[in-house]
């Protein structure tokens, strides 16, 4: 994937995530994280809003795992 392709995919994921429910957010989180990691590997400057979104989604994923943990 080229840098342009990665940025386009990140933009498309952001659009899908805008207003998405928690289930969809959790479903798309791994893909967004992968795109951000690939952008980093390419040496691209990752926009702050994208880094923030990735961080928030990762936090939500961790919380969801703990919410589903049996007591």
Domain regions of the chain by residue span: 3-67
Low-confidence residues of the chain: pLDDT under 50: none
Sign of CA dihedral 47, 51, 56, 58: positive
Helix then strand then coil, in percent of the chain rounded to 5, is: 75, 0, 25
Report the pLDDT value the prediction gives residue 65, as an integer from 0 to 100: 85
pLDDT value at residue 70: 67
pLDDT of residue 39: 96
Q: Is the pTM of this model over 0.95?
A: no
């Amino acid at each position: 994937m080229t840098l342009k392709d990665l940025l386009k995919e990140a933009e498309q994921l952001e659009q899908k995530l805008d207003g998405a429910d928690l289930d969809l957010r959790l479903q798309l989180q791994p893909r967004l994280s992968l795109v951000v990691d690939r952008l980093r590997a390419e040496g691209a400057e990752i926009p702050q809003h994208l880094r923030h979104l990735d961080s928030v989604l990762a936090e939500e994923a961790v919380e969801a795992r703990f919410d589903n943990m049996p007591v």
